[in-house]
Structure 1
Amino acid sequence: MLILAIETCLGECSVALLKGYSVISYILESRAHKQSEKLILMIEQALEENNTTYEELDYLAVSNGPGSFTGIRIGVATANAIAFAAGKKVIGINCLEIIAFGKNEKICSVLDAGRNQVYAQKFINRIPHSTIELIEYSQVNEFADGFKIIGNKFVEEINIPNAKNVGMVALKYLQNSNTKLLNEVDPLYIRSPDAKIKTI
């Protein structure tokens, strides 16, 4: 199974090509400048390094949020365009689940949402134990009570989403016969201009 995985939700941009559970190519661009232009070049580089074409891919996987509105839009639009052109299915992976990947314990994944707020979700042995919430930073410890806090800011352990883990989480879903495969995925923004902050 050959999967092209894309991660762009937090400003960094990464691409991975996975053959089963083996990562055969991984490219990271840590600067957000001209992210959309660099992403296509990175994808083409990963394919060329492995003498692979878009048509030879089995699936695409992309982090679809929450995170940077611009980053989410670029990653999702690129994955959907490739899936459409190559006639492939694409799977969207929640960034908070990517953070929890490989953690066989009680985890509260946290992403900085700006405005002294965070996106947060709890997992037990990588299985979601709550919905995604947009909460005040001051509420994180209360929300995460009894769970280890990991993520990109205000946390016990730094863990940044990357394309390798996007692909690994996608493989978990692809092995489940109940997973619905899509022709395109929708962005998962969570916050909207008139969003109300959840209090707990």
Structure 2
Amino acid sequence: MPTILQIETATQVCSVALAVDGETIALKEEKAQNIHASSLTLFIDEVMNIAKLKYADLDAIAVSKGPGSYTGLRIGVSTAKGLCFALDKPLIGVNTLQMMANGYLSQHPNYGGLVCPMIDARRMEVFTAVYTNKLHEVVSVNAKIIDDKSFVLELDNNYITFIGDGAAKCETMLDSQNAHFSTVNFNSAANMSNLAYSAFQNENFEDVAYFEPFYLKDFVFTTSKNKS
């Protein structure tokens, strides 16, 4: 009965879940800007208390590894690695986009189309991928600038549901009767429960010492033009 602590900080959502045998038993999450540093450890303590578990009861730590927010990923992965070192537990990395698609498909078990999770990457760019209803990747993870030519071939032949905080801004550009947009949040640590459980069963663990988030793009520092 593996008990896994799960952390999701790739977007504005700060989310922590506990799962036993791939089933979520406790969840704490909130969506707001810049709360990860101040809230993540509090959320972890809260889900542990809800489940009435001690940290020694954990069998592994799972973390959403990206792509996503540079700062959010850095905080989540650093926290997960710190727990793994302190508790001597294995680390599981879960692809953020796959986790989002998994969340949508778990809520729509009879869905027959494709799923396209999108994470906002500023302006008209998104981090994205496309998955089948069996969670097989048909378009690999990439940083994509959305225009009226995006996903034309895929939408010609498939019904696609676009999800995530990057999907809403793309709705007017993807003008097709086969394009559907969901406003439900799927950036939740609860949506990695069965993925983390499968990784644990297969001993698909990360090297805690060398593991880094999957940023996809280099972080770009911006300097204010207003100098006082």
The reply to whether TM is greater than 0.5 is: yes
RMSD over equivalenced CA pairs, Å? 2.0
> 2:182 maps to what in 1?
157
Shift in Å, 1:12: 1.4
Moved more, 165-174 or 61-70: 165-174
> 2:176 maps to what in 1?
none
> 1:66 maps to what in 2?
67
1:191 to 217, 220, 228: 217
Alpha-carbon distance in 1 for matches of 2:35, 2:119: 23
Distance 1:81 1:20, change over 3 A: same
Alpha-carbon distance in 2 for matches of 1:88, 1:111: 30
> 1:121 maps to what in 2?
129
Tell me if the contact between 1:65 and 1:72 (Cα under 8 Å) persists in the aligned partners: yes
**Pairing 1:50-129 to 2, within 5 Å after superposition:** 50-101=51-102, 103=105, 105-124=113-132, 125-129=134-138
Question: What secondary structure sits across from 2:24 in the alignment?
Answer: strand
Q: Is 1:181 the equivalent of 2:205? A: yes
TM-score of the pair, normalised by structure 2? 0.76
Runs ≥4 residues deviating over 6 A: none
> 1:134 maps to what in 2?
143
Instruction: Name the % identity.
Output: 29
Question: What secondary structure sits across from 1:60 in the alignment?
Answer: strand
Larger radius of gyration between Structure 1 and Structure 2: 2
Shift in Å, 1:48: 2.0
Alpha-carbon distance in 1 for matches of 2:115, 2:73: 23
Alpha-carbon distance in 2 for matches of 1:147, 1:52: 43
Q: Is 1:35 the equivalent of 2:36? A: yes
Amino acid at match of 1:168: N
Shift in Å, 1:22: 2.7
1:125-165, Cα deviation, whole Å (9 max, x unpaired): 11222321111111533374335122222351234310101
Moved more, 92-101 or 22-31: 22-31
Amino acid at match of 2:138: H
Alpha-carbon distance in 1 for matches of 2:219, 2:40: 27
Tell me if the contact between 1:88 and 1:183 (Cα under 8 Å) persists in the aligned partners: no
Alpha-carbon distance in 2 for matches of 1:90, 1:143: 38
- Unaligned ranges ≥5, structure 2: 106-110, 172-180, 221-228
Question: What secondary structure sits across from 1:118 in the alignment?
Answer: strand
Alpha-carbon distance in 1 for matches of 2:59, 2:17: 14
Amino acid at match of 1:13: C
TM-score of the pair, normalised by structure 1? 0.86
Alpha-carbon distance in 1 for matches of 2:142, 2:124: 14
Alpha-carbon distance in 1 for matches of 2:153, 2:67: 18
Tell me if the contact between 2:118 and 2:128 (Cα under 8 Å) persists in the aligned partners: yes
